[in-house]
A and B are shown apart, each in its own frame.
Chain A
Amino acid sequence: MTKIYKDSRVINDLSFEICKGELFVILGSSGSGKTTTLKLINRLIDPDEGAVYLNGNDTKTMDSVKLRRKIGYVIQQIGLFPHMMVKENIGLIPRLEKWNEENISNKIDELLTLVALPPQLFRTRYPNQLSGGQQQRVGLARALVMDPPLLLMDEPFGALDPLLRMQLQNEFLSIKRKLDKTIVFVTHDIEESFILADRIGVMHEGKMLQIGTPSELLFEPANEIVSKIIGTENKFKAIKFLQAKDVMISLDKGCLIESDISCKEAIDKMVTGKIDLCIIKKSNSDIAQISLIDLLNEKDKERSIMDLGNKLSVFAPNDTLSSIILLLKSSKESIAAIMDHNKVLGIVRINSVLMNLI
């Protein structure tokens, strides 16, 4: 797509794809064209060149009002109509779509509950009787009322104070998990993008410089501008947002050995596989590691490895790096196992993590 305003190419030959069900963050400084991109999606603006395709259909061929009613939209700060009560704000479009009153009222209560506002307290309030955070929640509820498969969010937490922002981001993540929607989220806040994103697209001067997961952008920035925007020289700051799955060393099948073999068999396996450290899964919660040297030093070579090895702490793939490091520090360990649904995915070694971050 290209969008030209007064001879300047605000959006310059932009082309990217968003996958179903993902939270795609468009990250960029002001003037990078990120909000314009969002408005191109729901046709608040039409591109001068190119087109937006939704499930393979050109949005230009669709009725813009119908299209927008199927796309949720949340903006920064002012978004609620001040002359309407919370329930009228949320129920505006359903009423125009002529739903029956009972359905509307049920939907409003359901959504208010979802965004953690007790319906009986908030239904009949006016926006100026709500705090900034509450307004933002109502804004989200309104965006969800038509059950849109796609949600566009333009710096929805931008105007909130940092503490509240963090709380809402976390709440938003848990709501997002319940909803299973495709979300396009615009922000200039790198931390926010790292916390929320499945994938991040870095925009600069109307172009998409790089698209990738937070760790891809952090560890393999495509060029200097991306690296500057992401702040790759301060990677260690990302310790709060990086998750276990971003930094773990994924487990070669060879490194994981069954727990019902003897010490001798284990040594054979490790020597042929040329590995000197392996992970033993004793049960779903009991993961241990053992090194080749330990095995060789073991006198009773017929002993089952079930009895050997050092027990490892276990984390989930989306636990944050900082929580892992903190826990390992207190237990004086340097390695942890990452498991998802009883399956060992990999290990996190503090040493290698730190080498990567600095």
Chain B
Amino acid sequence: MTLIDTIISVWTIHQITLRTIQHLYMFSIALIISIVIGVALAILVYSNPKLANLWFNVLNVIEMIPELALFIFLLPILGLGEKPTIAACVLYSILPIMRNSYTGLAHVSNEYIEIAKAIGLTKNEILLKIRLPMALPLISSGIRVAVVYIMGIATLGGLIAAGGLGVPLQAGIYRYDIPTIIVAALWVGTLGVFFDFIAWIIENRLARRFNPW
């Protein structure tokens, strides 16, 4: 069998097209939720600096729990399937998004804040019109880290009946089916690199546009 025949046969046997769609579905939902939560938390923490340490510690602890252990925590609550997988992805990727967003919000140069105040912007307007947009390059680099996290963690969903590209990967590992392992792993890797690249382009654009002189 030639290389291409092997790939095609692995692809069809394990329904990799379907698995990819499932995978990207979980990926996008998890990404959107973690962006919303991550940025919202960053704003919340930014406006209540006293909470900052508490939140970052909580998220650091979550980050330190091994993925599999986290699944075990989540299974009794959310059952099997997509939900706990998405929840795990979100829990892991909130931290990088939130940390970067917080840094971005807090480090907008004071001169801009002063002039914004001087021309008559309220505190909230300064946050929404000045701080948040100026933090976008940093927020987007946080999202970029999250993209890679989620792409990887979602494959563990294969263990708990969530579908996605974790399924052929796990199947390959159980049966010691090397072609399947390689094809599935390479494909997940390719997708990861691809989305990371897209995120990089966006980040770069933002950085160039928002970089003051």
Cβ-defined contact, B111 with A83, below 8 A: no
Cβ-defined contact, B212 with A127, below 8 A: yes
Q: Is B205 an interface residue (CB 8 A)?
A: no
**A126 — nearest CB in chain B belongs to which residue?**
B209
Q: Is B121 an interface residue (CB 8 A)?
A: yes
Interface size of A by Cβ–Cβ distance < 8 Å?
Answer: 27
Instruction: List B contacts of A127 (CB < 8 A).
Output: 212-213
Cβ-defined contact, A83 with B133, below 8 A: yes
Q: Is B115 an interface residue (CB 8 A)?
A: yes
Q: With contacts A83-B210, A92-B129 known, is A142 near B111, CB below 8 A?
A: no
B120 is contacted by which of A39, A69, A75, A81 (Cβ under 8 Å)? A69
Interface size of B by Cβ–Cβ distance < 8 Å?
Answer: 23
Instruction: List A contacts of B134 (CB < 8 A).
Output: 81-83
Q: Is A65 an interface residue (CB 8 A)?
A: yes
A92 is contacted by which of B112, B118, B119, B209 (Cβ under 8 Å)? B119
Q: With contacts A44-B114, A92-B129, A96-B125 known, is A82 near B213, CB below 8 A?
A: yes
Cβ-defined contact, B213 with A128, below 8 A: yes
Interface centre among A42, A69, A82, A83 (most CB of B within 10 A): A83
Instruction: List B contacts of A81 (CB < 8 A).
Output: 112, 116, 130, 134
Cβ-defined contact, A68 with B118, below 8 A: yes
Chain B positions within 8 Å of A, measured between CB atoms, are 109, 111-112, 114-122, 125, 129-130, 133-134, 136, 209-213
If A44-B114, A78-B112, A78-B115 are given as contacts, then 19 extra A-B residue pairs at C-beta distance below 8 Å, sorted by A number, are A42-B118, A44-B117, A44-B118, A65-B121, A73-B115, A73-B118, A75-B111, A79-B115, A81-B112, A82-B210, A82-B212, A83-B210, A92-B121, A92-B129, A93-B119, A126-B209, A127-B213, A142-B119, A152-B118
19 contacts between A and B (CB under 8 A): A44-B117, A65-B120, A65-B122, A68-B117, A70-B120, A73-B115, A73-B118, A75-B118, A78-B109, A78-B115, A79-B115, A82-B210, A83-B209, A92-B119, A92-B129, A93-B120, A96-B125, A127-B212, A142-B119
